[in-house]
Each structure stands twice: as structure tokens, then as C-alpha cells.
Structure 1
Amino acid sequence: MDEAHDDAPLLVLVDGSSYLYRAYHAMPDLRAVPGDPASPPTGAIRGMLNMLQALAKTHPTEHLAVVFDAPGPTFREALYPDYKAHRAPMPDDLRAQIEPILEVIGLQGWPVLRVPGVEADDVIGTLARLAAQQGWRVVISSGDKDLSQLVDERITIVDTMSGKVRDAAGVEAEFGVPPRLMLDFQTLVGDAVDNVPGVDKVGPKTAAKWLQAYGSLDGIVAHAHEIKGAAGEHLRRALDWLPKGRELLRIRTDCDLAAHVPGWPSLEALRRRPADTAGLRAFYERYGFRSLARALDEEAGAPDAPAQAALPMQAAPLRCTVVQDRATLQAWVERLRAAPLAALDAETTSLDELQARLVGLSLAVAPGEAAYIPLAHEGPDRPAQLPLEEVLQALRPWLEDAAAPKLGQHVKYDLHVLANHGIAVRGYVHDTLLQSYVLEAHKPHNLDSLAERHLGRKGLTYEQVCGKGAQQIPFAQVPLERAAAYACEDAEMCLAVHGVLWPRLQAEPALQRIYRLEMDVTHVLLRMERHGVLIDAAELRRQSEELGRRIAELEAEAHALAGQPFNLGSPKQIAEVFYGRLGLPVLKKTATGAPSTDEEVLEKLAEDYPLPAKVLQHRSLAKLKSTYTDKLPAMVNPATGRVHTHYAQAVAVTGRLASNEPNLQNIPIRTPEGRRIRRAFIAPPGWRIASADYSQIELRIMAHLSEDAALLKAFAEGQDVHRATAAEVFGLPPEAVSPEQRRYAKTINFGLIYGMSAYGLAKALGIDATAAKNYIERYFERFAGVRAYMERTRAQAKARGWVETVFGRRLFLPEINSPNGPRRSAAERAAINAPMQGTAADLIKMSMVAVQRALDEAGLRTRMILQVHDELVFEVPEDELEWVRREVPRLMAGVATLRVPLVAEVGIGPNWEQAH
């Protein structure tokens, strides 16, 4: 937008119809009463509120309107009865949210417009043109590219969800034509969504090329006889249609809005009114938006209060003692000793647990009472504080006493930080983060969320205390009184949250066992993270150089196939070469309507064309190089000479661990180049790498859960389960099964676990859908117990909203009763797979605890260094190899008794690749 207009008044126009669908598809299936599918749906309402509030922050103005399509036909249906004929009807649960959305927008004070006989785009076009003519700046908030025909020096389109801005330059860069030619461009291309034909086989590239050559649609029509080839033939066949298509796609800018905008053509009717606070509060309560209601109450209670005064809601006033002298410290040491349970929280210099140093410690031993011990505060107003080492020595006997019960929020982090200071904390018996994770894995587990969800309290945030972005200061520089209030509150809220969550766990013995397992795993992970993994940096550098050479070769080969150089890392340039230059078939489009070049599309195109195969190879090798061979050597800790990953326990709803910074669980092993990366994970001299993993663990769990006789028999007899499956499906004796038939059976076995459809199986096997459907039907005939398990599990999931593992871990499925078909189908697939994946996660965690306990009891030096899915990796001194070969598989197989035997196998080698 021209800077000369910056001082002009601003009108914001919201494409409410576009927002409506985007909010519906972006949000989960929320309900006014959580978990009750019979209560009103609220996901689209909450999504709309979020989007409108975000827009109000980025584009503050007093003049705005939210414009929706009115019910009933428009002039376009009269002009062309097939207009929008193929558009699916609005989902019932979205339709049910329209009136509440209109109501709450009105309560917010935003003008709402719905004009019969025309579309929202026409109302927006009319308002935008009028405002521009009167000297206003106009921002249209929409994801709809059709509105681009309205753009000029005063009118801009913003898409708040993608961040895209379509001003005049942006439109031309995106579509290849200026805004004044967008209607002509759209007429040539057509609009499949609204069922408006364009010129057959003419896409955006051709349309833009013609318009650049002939200046307008009229110019193209005048020279239609000159345009050669199939495109010219298609154009000439469409000449009679084009005027009607153009009229259908033209956004009207002359609608009569007098009956809908008081005082028209004055824009003062679009001034925002004061919000109806009482009406909003009642609305939020009616639809279950409790956090919005609380925020409204807080805002009403202290509208002009400074940020420092935004103190949390308390059940009782919090008394915070700042420990700055020896007598107070000693008094708190005695209180800790006498407490049945004490909460401990560390304030530090870094989120990197291996680098973080203490700034202060907070403690809580009773509701409403906490203490903060400053240890390393700095700055011009550096407060009085006891020497760090003196405080740690005073606390050390309590910290290292296993009989002194302690509680924390994300205990593993605090254990690392105190270990950085030479203190091995013992006696941690509770972690509120893990309590929340076990009780409700699908929800946030940070302390702020837990306090708000379970206590109705809202504490000070880190940003309120330290600031945001470039203005953020280290915690060590926060004024002591403010730092103490924040830290004391964290420790005391942790104690209060525990008081709510622990009784819930005690009432559920199975969940309590899972929680105890997670607590035990925390201590195993702590040791793994601190020890780290030895990396052969020279080997990775060699691989990086080789990958670089191969990447360059692939680039040259791709350029030769394309007939021109292009950036293989640019989806836009790839699309231009594939679809514009080479005319490859468009298999899928992106959300913006551009031809897709995602991996699925490239894999399909690679079946018939050599260039997409080269691009896929290039992508794969470039990712390996950037993610692993280049990055891992740079992540070696100079103090230890090792790479230290971080394992997150409370992320995956299935119970699986997540590795990050770096992620060592996703190193690809399907390609030789990916497998070679594991060669760089080495043992020190005199040691070896051992890899122990479960054999076909999820299929064994399927056999246990389904109690299918044929599967149980195959595992009990130690048969090759894929060969046994093939024998059943193809009606052959096992010895007659061919390698190809075994491959089919393996794909079916694993595919069904993950809810693969006949279409998915056909794609995986390279066969037609009918044959795949027949294979699946034959499988279920022979393995009737598997079908019964799947049907039973789906029904249980729909009734309860969750499924569970063999050991009682609950796996929640919020979308299992969603009226949105794709979401519901995905949840149904997850309902079948989650118990198997979750049980496998439980088993590997049980193995980690059992093996570490056995290593400690035997006094061995072997160290567990990695956990990857169903695999444990060890660093083993050569004199302990026999113990590992013998005991680790026995321990892993013995952690649980299922209806089929658990089998674990161990490999040994100088590096991970050769051990696996």
C-alpha cells in the first residue's frame, strides 16, 4: 500500500464466510460440555474468535465489518443454474454454529453484514471501492484469491492464517498479472470450486502468458485465430462461454446497501460499538469458554492496571519468604526436613539443561506458603544474597536424601541443573508434568495450563516477568521482589496441582502403575542424556562430502532433463518446470490452488517420468546432509566430546518417547545413505555398541489383544508370521509361499495395524483396488479374531472417548465422534493402532527400567545410550559383552507376560550400523 496513504483512516473488511470454513477445519471437535457429543459444537465459534482477536491486534481500527453470505440464491444462480452445483452441503455441526457466531461477533461490537441476493465478496467489493473513493485505506482479511481483482493502491488483502499479503506487487508476483487483469485471468482459468468453467486445459501459466502477450481478455479473443496448438483450439471452442464466465466471476462493486448500512453511503455505520460485557460473559459460560469468561472478568476488574499488578488468582494469599540470611535459610532447611512433601523449582540461566546454571531456588511445603532463595541475581541493583556454594551445602543433605520426599514440575530438568552443580538429587517421588501426562496425555502439561485447568488460577507468566522478544531480560536481572513472586508462585502452584492430580491417580490403580513407570523412566533418561553418544565427526564429514558430490551430480542431471537450470529446493520453480515447461499432469493442488509438488505427488510422477525421480533423490540426500552429516558434528558438546539428545516424555499421546536437539530417532534406514549415518555412532576404544530390539512387537501385541487363534498359533510355534499369513491368505502350505506373496502378507499385516484402506494397500503393493480389497477380505476371513478386535475397539472408543494399552495407559481420541468425516476416520484408525503402539511404548520403557536396574545391581559399566522406537542401544566394555548378549534379551522378554512370547534380539558391532 502506498506510504502516502498511511495517515488515511482504515477500514477493515473481514470475509466472514472464508473465516467460517477455515475456523471449522482448523479446530478440533470442541463441545460446550467437553467429551459429550450431544452438547453443542463449539470448534468453529472458538476458531472465529481467535482469528478475529488476532486480526484486531494486527490491524487496530474503529471501522470494520464482518461480511457473511446470506442464505438463499444469488443473481449468479439465475444467470447460470449450475453455479456452485458441485459444492458439498455445509456440514450440520458447522451450520449449527452460524447463529452463535453471528451473536458473539455482535456482542464484541463488530458490525455484521449479510445481504440477500449477492455474495459476501460483492458486499466487500462495494464497501472497499466506496471507501477507497472516499480516501480511506482498506484491508480485506481473507484467504480467497478471487478478491485479488479488487486490489489497488488503497486496497490490500491480508491472510492472517498464512501471513500472505496481496498488494498490487504481491498479486502480480503470485499470478503473473496485475490486479486489473485478475478478472480476465480468472475467466480463462475458471473456478472449479464454484463450478465456473474456463478454457479447457488452460492453467495459470498459459493464462498469464496470453494476457501478457495480448493485454486483456478482449485482446485474446480478438486474436484467438492466431493462437496455435491444442490450447488455441480449446480457446476458440470457449469463445461463446467467456462473456458469461466473466460475469459470474466479476465481483460487484455497486450493490445497493442502503437497507443494510444505515446512513449509506456514509461509512460511520461501520464504526465498532462497545462490547456487551454482560452478554459476552453469558455467551462464554453457555458455550463452555471458561478461560474467555475469566479473562473478561479480570479485564473488567482492573482495566487500567499495569502489567506488574496482574497478580494471579489465589485460593488464599501467597506468603513468599525471600531467603537472604543464614538464619532464614536454616529455618527453611528445618521446615523441609519436617515436611511430608516439599515442592522444589529451579530458576536458571538457560533452557538447555546441560548448560543451565542456577539463578535461584523456590520451595513450598504448605498451601499459600513458599520461599525463594536468590543465588545469582545480578545487575546494578544486585540484591543481597547468600553465597551459592554455601546455600547448596546447607541444602545438600536434604537434596541428596532419598527418604526426603520431593515434588517438581518437569523433574528431569531440575535434576540436570542441580547435577551441573555437583548435586545428585534423590527422593523425587512426584512430577506434576507426568501426573498430567498419564491422566490426560492429549492436553497441555505446562504448569500455567495445569493451574488454570485444575485450580482455576492464573499465575504470572515468564513473559510478564522477563518481557518478550528483543526486550526480554535474563531472569537474573529481574528485580528480586518480582522474581520471588513468580518463583514462589510456581513452587506453591506445583504443590496445589499435585493435591488435585495425585488423588485421581490413586483412584486408578492401572494409571498409578503407568505413572510410577514414567517416574522410573525419568531417572534412566537423565543418565542417558548426561552420558551422551560418541560420534565419529571425521566419518560424518567424509559422508557429507560424498553427499555433496552426489547432490551436485543429481542437480546437473535434473537440469539436463529439464532443459534449463532451476532451484531443486524451490517448490515454485519445480512447479514451473514440471507443469509450465514440461506439461506433466497435475495430480493435486495446494490450498491456494497451485499445482502441488509434495512428496506424494513426486513419487507418483516418478513412476512415469525421470525428472521427478531425480528431484526426490535430491531432496532425500539434501535432507540427510543438512539434518545429520553437517549438523551432528557441530552439536558435539566440547566438554564431553559427545552428542547429547533430549528425550521428552510428555509429548506423544501413545507414550512413545520423543528425541530432539538432535532427533536421533528419525535417522532414515530405508536407504543405504541413511543407514550409513549410523556408522558414525561409535564406541570408544575397548568398548562395543550393542543394539537390542523386540522382534515384530506390534504384531505380537495384535495377537495378544485380538486373541486370534491363527496368529497365536503362528507366534507360539515360532513360525515366520508373514509366511504364515501368506499361507492363510493364499491358501497354500507355508513352504509353497513365494517371496512376493510373503511381501504382500507383510504389507497387509503392518498395513492393517495402521488402518490401511484397500486404496492404500493397492498403492503400497502396486495392484488395483479390487485385488487389494479381495486380499483384505480374505485376510479377515482367515483371521476373524483381528476383525472382531477392530470392531470391538472402535465401538469402545466411541463409547468412552479413549482406548487403552495392555497395561492400562489411556489413549484419548477427541475426534472419535466428530461429525467431520475425515477427522472421525483418522480417529478410528488411531483407535485400532494406538493400543498396539502404546503397549509397545510401555514395554520398551519397562525394559529400560529393568535393564538399568540389573546393570546397577551387577555393578557393570555398560551404559544405555539411545532408545529408538522398539530398540535399546548400549555402549559395552568388551569384558561385559557376554552378559549383555545373555541378559538383555532375557530381561526384555521377561518384563511382561502376554498370550504370545516376547522375543528380543541383540547385535554387537564397533558402531551402531554394524550392531543393528
Structure 2
Amino acid sequence: MSTPTLLLVDGSSYLYRAYHAMPDLRAPDGFPTGAIHGFVAMMKKLREQFPAEHAACVFDAKGPTFRDDWYPEYKAQRAPMPDALREQIAPIHEVVKLLGWPVLEVPGIEADDAIGTLSRVAAESGHSVIISTGDKDLAQLVNPQVTLINTMSNERLDVAGVQEKFGVPPERIIDYLTLMGDTVDNVPGVEKVGPKTAAKWIAEHGSLDGVIAAAAGIKGVAGENLRKALDWLPTGRRLVTVVLDCDLTGHVEQWPALEALALREVDQPGLLDFYKRYGFKSWSKELEAALGVAAAPAAAPGPAAGSNGDLFADEVPVSAPVASPDKMAHHYDTVLTWPQFDTWLARLQGAELVALDTETDSLDGMRARIVGLSFSVAIGEACYIPLRHSGPDAPEQLPLDEVLARLKPWFEDASAAKLGQNIKYDTHVLANHGVKVRGYRHDTMLQSYVVEAHRTHGLAALAERHLGRKGLDYEDLCGKGAHQIPFAQVDVARAAEYSCEDSDMCLHVHQTLLPELEAEAGLKFVYEQIEMPTSAVLARIERTGVLIDPARLNQQSQQLGQRLVALEQEAYEIAGQPFNLGSPKQIGEILFVKLGLPVGKKTATGAPSTDEEVLEKLAADYPLPAKLLEHRGLAKLKSTYTDKLPLMINPDTGRVHTNYAQAVAVTGRLSSNDPNLQNIPIRTAEGRRVREAFVAPAGHRIVSADYSQIELRIMAHISEDPGLLRAFEQGIDVHRATASEVFGTPVSDVTTEQRRYAKTINFGLIYGMGAFGLASSLGIEQKAAKEYIELYFARFAGVKRYMDETRASAIDKGYVETLFGRRIYLPEIKGGNGPRRAGAERQAINAPMQGTAADLIKLAMLAVQTELDAKPELRSRMVMQVHDELVLEVPDAELDWAKAAIPRLMAGVAQLKVPLLAEVGVGANWDEAH
């Protein structure tokens, strides 16, 4: 994996810029939406252009900061925020969170200081940092690991860029700003000294201190003004300096670790509701297509329902349009009589390929019911069958049950070729009505995902990008805000146009993308042999769900609650008084004033820090910090998991039905949500206990099958390194084998410490770790870490050769490939600046292994499901797929079969130069199965 990236957005800077850059957009009720639109567009663009593992959108909090204490006139002349902008702040915070971004707002400090602190911590932990801002003050943060970008001017500032723009290097920006002052923040500088003079003086004298030392000899009015300002300049420098050691405890969970800032998946249902409330119809339409639902239920009335019209395109087409007009010539039928139905049924039965779309009353595929169906048999030819429209002017419609009964033989005919957009959703919808669809040949969402995984894959985006076509918007049919109606109440003629258009465009997009897939054997294999069949298996896994024991979770919550209360009492006893365990200020007073513990570091205000790093160091010698750390961890576990999971159980099944997003990760990894099964914590005993609540029904067991050291095995295969191949072929512990080579000792004599070092090196190198990261992980000097890496490459020359060749190939092609032909594009490897390009090069090394592992687990799912289908007497079922693990629910009578067959099937999906090994565990619950 590449060097991880932290993407920071200066939200306060962009609030004003979005507000002033956009027209005065208003909803029909007068609510302003321009800043919201500009902010959403910027955040969407950022996420697409700058892939990152961690991120935060940082805003200024209300109230004074420490700078007001230093200088009461700080920002005193700043005009009050316009009312129209103030009204949009809360919706902007809401939508940023829906887009998957952590939002940070820390009282007492400015957004700049939070950004500076986060960038320092991230860079020190091996991250590449990208800061999106329009604020020149943050140029002082730029270094080889930190880059500024400005999405509104398309400007990027690395170290060289800062020098070119301002005439001084990043480390002199503070001096530069001090001399000029900042009129916006009411920070005086040297009177009549602007950018040119400031840069000139720094160039001549080296630094602000050098300028001050030479002040007596600087001539002219500027020299006189400099001498007048000498007493002020230290305060000015203090005011313009971004603080890098703020205590973010209580605002960033587990601070200073960055796990809480993981960039999350977009909350698509919530985002769709937001778009509808605030009238963003183009984005609503695109999101409906991405969710596979052309007609969604009416959104709850919002405070600012309305429409901005189509003033701004959500996405600009990048390929030559196949059809230039938005509205192509077409013939769409509305089927209201049985003769019409019979005519179209005959057309469906005689067509080579039919695109179909369901109109429903819900975004939840497990619960959605059909309102209407559309079919397209040729570009420009489609029909709509309204089935549950109930508007005041709704015509008499054919009965739903009878229509489905007559269509069921065609739906369930595997030889009748079908096409859709996100077919997994439609599969669920039809299954809700007792129809088991067979014969799906194509899915335009998956076609796009295989051809261009780094792009968006909603039908509206695909049609606009590849065809130049733009269809009806949902709000055109259903209205907006409080007056919005359910799709079932839409005029049937308009509904027919809308639904037929979706099926028509789906077929049209398919005919455009299919030749691209068929032109490349690797892409064709990934689409036809991996992604399409995986979609069908995932639908079955989702529909089955996994059984949850809410009583066990409730018991865990009670136990955690009791332990939290006990921890509070224990902390009070140690402290000698009650205090708020969530208050950094009170904790600081107890630890450093009352108990006199050593101060590790200080916050921006000069107070002793109580962040995670400080507490962990103190916990080694003192009991109270250890209690505080334990309390924080258990409180998060309770609120996030044991309290929440029972609320996600489907009352009809008693099971949790996660959704596996297939077209998200560029490497091919699946992403689960509602709930996210991949993020259940397993590092602590209490966290692992959460998996105890994922249980097997009576007479069954949970079986977990996991690939062993899969990415190291893939590395051995790809690199063909003799040492790695030999270790895996002979079944030697690969980490002991590595330690033996690196430390020059027999395998039998390798110590536990040497094996730990070797394991860190093995995994670190395939994830792009350098000497700095290895030194941090092992707690050794960077020089020693560098020597270990050199020793490793000397002993495993094949690995070094693979890395060099892969890096060169990626730079040449712009992408890397998995063993099966999946392409992973790396846009920054050619066009990025130094740090981003280096990060892309590291990603190029890991992506083929991570992507191949993703392909293998999908092939394993297919192999296991094929075996289950071939033996109808078996009642075992897959219930989860998490990382490199398959989880099944197996009857007791089939355990012997499962323990023998599943590892054999998983090991047999590919023939590598080393054996694939899958290990199986069995238990009454998921935790026991490990």
C-alpha cells in the first residue's frame, strides 16, 4: 500500500469563498443555497482528485481564541458574517459529514492551528499531507510531506511553489507575514511594507531576526517604519505563527492516533435526502442512479426545500458524445391494457438483450416494493408498465400480482438475457415479490467500475460522460420539499418518460462500454468471471444476513456501563476527588497540579497536554492515566457498537443485512455498510467480544475461512524471489525465514525479537514503508532501520527487482494490474508533485498485491457458492465476507464437509508459484470461530 494520505480542508476559508464565488441561489421559499452548492462541489471534486485514507474538514469554532488573550484587537475590524452565509453553516456541516468527511471544530483555537497540528502529527507518522485552502498563512506548513492546494484557482504549492509564489521558502513565510502584517486579521506589520519589500529584506538578511538586526542600516521611509515597529514585531510574529502542538483530545478520538479521521463511505441515502431538501436536482438524479432507484420515496420535509435548477453541471463529459441532443428521438409506450402487455412480452421474449429498471417506494432494497417497471429492447424503444400509481388522475392499471405472474417465467429464464444498472438492487426488489431473477448478463455500473474504477458510476453520470445525454430529474416529477409527492402519485405519462429513459440510457451506455471491455482480455475476464458473478453471490449473502444476539449485546453494554462507572470511581479514588473524565482541563489540573505528574508537552495555550500520547507515556508509571485511557476506549466501544448494533437488526428476520458496495474501492475490495462489518474492533478483548453476538442458529456453527498471509504469498509469486518461494514451498514460517536471511542465523536459532523485526519488515515493505516508518515501528534509530532494509534487499533481490520494474511500468502506463487483469489507475504518478508522485509510486508496488487479494477472495466466494449449488442437499450458507475472510453458517451435520471442502476450494481458485493456504475455524459465534 502507498504512503497513507491525510487530506485537510480549511473549511472556514472556503465558507466565504464559496459564498462569494456562487450566484445568489435561493430555494422557492427564499432559503439561500449558493454557499452549500459551492462547498459540496468542492468537497466532491477533492475526494475524486485526491484519494486519501484520512481526512478532516476543519472549521473555526465560535468564541475567542488564545490569540485574543495575546492581542485584544485581533480580528477586531473584521465585518460580521453575512446572515445569508450564517444560515448555511449548519447545512454545510451536515452535508460534509454525509459525504464521508470527519468534521472538526475546536473551541479556543483557530482552524489554522488545528490544521497545523494535524499536519505535523500526520507527517511524523509517515503520512503525506494535502491541505486544501485559500489562506496564504498556511504556506508556512509546507514541507516535503505537506502540500497546499487551492481548488478554486487550481493552484498547488509545494516547497518550490511557495518559493516561486512568495519569493521566500516555506520556513520564512512567518517572517514574511510578520513584516507585511495581516489587515484581514487586524495584525499590524511594518507600515507600507508589502510583499516585494518583505521578500527582498528576507532575501538580503536571511530571516526576520536578520532584518531586525540590520534595522539601523536600512534606509528610507521603509527603514524608519521598520525601526518604529521593532517593539511590535515579536508579538506580530507570535500572532501569525500557526501553532503545531494543540491538544485535540476530546475532539479527535484516540488522539494523537488518526484512526478517527478515516475517510468514510458516502451516506448515499442520507445525501439523497439532503439534495432533495435543498433542491439540488442534478445531484439527486445522479445519486438515484447510483443507488439503482429511479424513483425514491418522498423525502422528509426540510427547512429549506427547493430547487436551484440546472445552473451547474455535476460532472463534465470527458469522452466524445455518441448522441449530441439531450432528448433523442424515441418511442416510449405506456402499457395499460393486456393487448399492449402481450405485444411487449413478445418483444421481451424475442429480444437478444433487454434493459430493465424498477421504480419503487424505498431505497432499501430489502424492503422496497414495485411501483412500476420499464424495459428497453433497442436504443430509443422502451415501455413502462405502471402498477401502483395512485394519483388523482391515475388511469386504471394492470394488476401488479397478475403482471408479475405473467412476467415471472421470463424473469426466471436464465436464457433470457437481461441488463441493468446496479442489478443487485433490482434483484432484491423483485425477490421481495417472490421473483428470483435469472439471466442477468450485464450491469452498466460494473462495466464502468472495471473500465474506469477511479470515476463515478451512477447512470446519470455515465450517460452524460459517455453519451452526452441528460435525462429527466426526479424533482421534475415529484416536486420539492414539503410539497414533494411519492413516485406512486406522479402523473403516469411523466413517470413513463422518466423510467423508459433510464432503461433506454442503460442500454445505450452498455453498447458504448462493452466494446472497451471486450478489447482487453484482462478487463473482460475481471468483468465476466469476477464482478458479474460476484454481484449475484453478494445478493444472496445480503439477503441471508447474519444472525445477531441482541441480548448478548445488551449484556455487553451493561457490563461496559458498569465497568465505566467503576473506572470513574477508581479514578476518583486515585485523584482524591470527583472530576469530569471527559474534560481535558480538569484532567490536566488533577494530573499535573494536584498529583504533580511530569508534563510531557503543552497545548497552544500553554496548558499541559492530556492527549493520548501523553497519557500512554504516563500510564507506564502511574495508575490514573491508565484508568483514563481504559475509560476512553470502553466508552467508544459501547456507543459505537454494543449500543448501536441491536438497532440495526431487521425485525422481520432477526438478522443484520449489510450492503456490500461493489463499485467503490479502486483495488476491487468490497465495502460493507449499514453496518460496516469491516470496522468491528478486534484489537482488545472487549472489542473482540462484539463478534460473540454474531451467532449461529440452533443446530449450526459459524465457520470462518481466512487466507493465510495472502499478500506475502502474492509478493512471492509476482517477484519470483527464490528466498520467499522456498519459505512458502517448504512451509517454513516466512517471518523466521526472513529473519534468518537478514540476521544471518539458522532458522532454528531465530529469536522472538528477530522474528518480530522480520515480520515488521515483511509487511512494511509491501505497504511502502521506508526507513523512517520502520524505525518508528521498531523503536530503533533510522540509520539501523535503513541498514535492515538494505540487508533485506540484498538477501531478497527478487523483491527489489519487482519493486523497481513495477514502479517503472506504472510511470510509463499510468496504471498497474492485478494477476487477473484488473487495472488500478494512478493519476498522480505522472502529474503529481514530488510527495504525491512518490506516494503513487509506493501505491504502484502494493496495489497489484492488494488488488490480486481482492480478486482471489471474490473467486473464492464464487467457488464456494458453486459447490453449494452443485450439492442441493447441503444447507450451509455464506453470511459474511470481511477482508480476506469468508464466514458461513453451517449445520452441525455438514461441519466435516465444510472443514475439508472450503479450504480446498479457496486454495484451488488460482495456481500460484507458492501454495495458497486457507485456514478454517469453527465456533458457536464469529469470535469462537477464530
Equivalent-residue separation in structure 2 for 1:749 and 1:771 (angstroms): 16
Corresponding residue for residue 269 of structure 1 = none
Written as runs of structure 1 = structure 2, the 5 A alignment for 1:339-418 is 339-418=351-430
Equivalent-residue separation in structure 1 for 2:17 and 2:486 (angstroms): 34
Written as runs of structure 1 = structure 2, the 5 A alignment for 1:407-806 is 407-467=419-479, 470-516=482-528, 517-556=530-569, 584-586=599-601, 613-806=626-819
CA contact (8 A) 2:418 2:442 kept: yes
CA contact (8 A) 2:658 2:672 kept: yes
The residue type paired with residue 343 of structure 1 is: A
Corresponding residue for residue 888 of structure 2 = 874
CA contact (8 A) 2:327 2:470 kept: no
Written as runs of structure 1 = structure 2, the 5 A alignment for 1:34-73 is 53-54=21-22, 56-57=24-25
Q: 1:906 aligns with which of 920, 925, 928?
A: 920
Q: 1:826 aligns with which of 832, 839, 855?
A: 839
Offset of residue 147 of structure 1: 7.5
- 549-558 or 843-852: which moved more? 549-558
Equivalent-residue separation in structure 2 for 1:692 and 1:915 (angstroms): 9
SS of the residue corresponding to residue 426 of structure 2 reads helix
The residue type paired with residue 836 of structure 2 is: R
Q: 2:907 aligns with which of 893, 896, 903?
A: 893
Corresponding residue for residue 316 of structure 1 = 328
Corresponding residue for residue 148 of structure 1 = 75
Offset of residue 563 of structure 1: 8.1
SS of the residue corresponding to residue 830 of structure 2 reads coil
SS of the residue corresponding to residue 346 of structure 2 reads helix
Deviations 1:45-69 (A, max 9, x none): x99997754575489899xxxxxxx
Identity of aligned residues (%): 59
Equivalent-residue separation in structure 1 for 2:845 and 2:681 (angstroms): 26
SS of the residue corresponding to residue 760 of structure 2 reads helix
The residue type paired with residue 763 of structure 1 is: S
Corresponding residue for residue 846 of structure 1 = 859
- 321-330 or 349-358: which moved more? 321-330
Offset of residue 593 of structure 1: 13
CA contact (8 A) 1:683 1:875 kept: yes
Corresponding residue for residue 187 of structure 1 = none
Equivalent-residue separation in structure 1 for 2:574 and 2:491 (angstroms): 64
CA contact (8 A) 1:579 1:586 kept: no
TM-score, with length taken from structure 1: 0.68
Corresponding residue for residue 243 of structure 1 = 232
Offset of residue 554 of structure 1: 3.7
The residue type paired with residue 508 of structure 2 is: A
Are residues 613 and 832 of structure 1, via their aligned partners in 2, closer, same or farther at CA, if it must alter by over 3 Å?
farther
C-alpha RMSD over aligned residues: 4.2
Written as runs of structure 1 = structure 2, the 5 A alignment for 1:60-209 is 148-151=75-78, 174=108, 194-195=173-174
Equivalent-residue separation in structure 2 for 1:593 and 1:821 (angstroms): 35
Computing the radius of gyration over CA atoms, which structure comes out larger, 1 or 2?
Answer: 1
Equivalent-residue separation in structure 2 for 1:780 and 1:542 (angstroms): 51
CA contact (8 A) 1:198 1:245 kept: no
Equivalent-residue separation in structure 1 for 2:434 and 2:441 (angstroms): 21
The residue type paired with residue 799 of structure 2 is: V
Give the length in aligned residue pairs: 683
Q: What are structure 1's unaligned runs of at least 5 residues?
A: 1-23, 28-45, 63-144, 166-170, 177-189, 200-238, 252-295, 302-310
Offset of residue 662 of structure 1: 0.9
Equivalent-residue separation in structure 2 for 1:429 and 1:48 (angstroms): 49
Corresponding residue for residue 820 of structure 2 = 807
Deviations 1:108-135 (A, max 9, x none): xxxxxxxxxxxxxxxxxxxxxxxxxxxx
Corresponding residue for residue 326 of structure 1 = 338
Corresponding residue for residue 116 of structure 1 = none
Corresponding residue for residue 227 of structure 1 = none
Equivalent-residue separation in structure 2 for 1:54 and 1:563 (angstroms): 57
Offset of residue 150 of structure 1: 2.3
Corresponding residue for residue 3 of structure 2 = none
Offset of residue 318 of structure 1: 3.0
SS of the residue corresponding to residue 854 of structure 2 reads helix
SS of the residue corresponding to residue 867 of structure 1 reads strand
Equivalent-residue separation in structure 2 for 1:817 and 1:575 (angstroms): 48
Offset of residue 772 of structure 1: 1.9
Corresponding residue for residue 85 of structure 1 = none
Equivalent-residue separation in structure 1 for 2:362 and 2:635 (angstroms): 31
Equivalent-residue separation in structure 1 for 2:777 and 2:474 (angstroms): 48
Equivalent-residue separation in structure 1 for 2:22 and 2:747 (angstroms): 62
Deviations 1:179-200 (A, max 9, x none): xxxxxxxxxxx9998436999x
Q: What are structure 2's unaligned runs of at least 5 residues?
A: 1-6, 35-71, 95-104, 111-139, 142-170, 179-227, 241-307, 314-322
The residue type paired with residue 339 of structure 2 is: A
SS of the residue corresponding to residue 174 of structure 2 reads coil
Equivalent-residue separation in structure 1 for 2:827 and 2:837 (angstroms): 9
Corresponding residue for residue 43 of structure 2 = none
Offset of residue 816 of structure 1: 1.8
Equivalent-residue separation in structure 2 for 1:692 and 1:61 (angstroms): 50
The residue type paired with residue 151 of structure 1 is: R
Equivalent-residue separation in structure 1 for 2:494 and 2:887 (angstroms): 46
CA contact (8 A) 2:600 2:609 kept: no
Deviations 1:770-825 (A, max 9, x none): 22222222111111111221122222222211111111111111222344333223
Offset of residue 532 of structure 1: 1.0
Offset of residue 381 of structure 1: 3.4
The residue type paired with residue 890 of structure 2 is: V
Offset of residue 628 of structure 1: 2.1
Are residues 325 and 584 of structure 1, via their aligned partners in 2, closer, same or farther at CA, if it must alter by over 3 Å?
farther
Offset of residue 422 of structure 1: 0.2
The residue type paired with residue 521 of structure 2 is: P
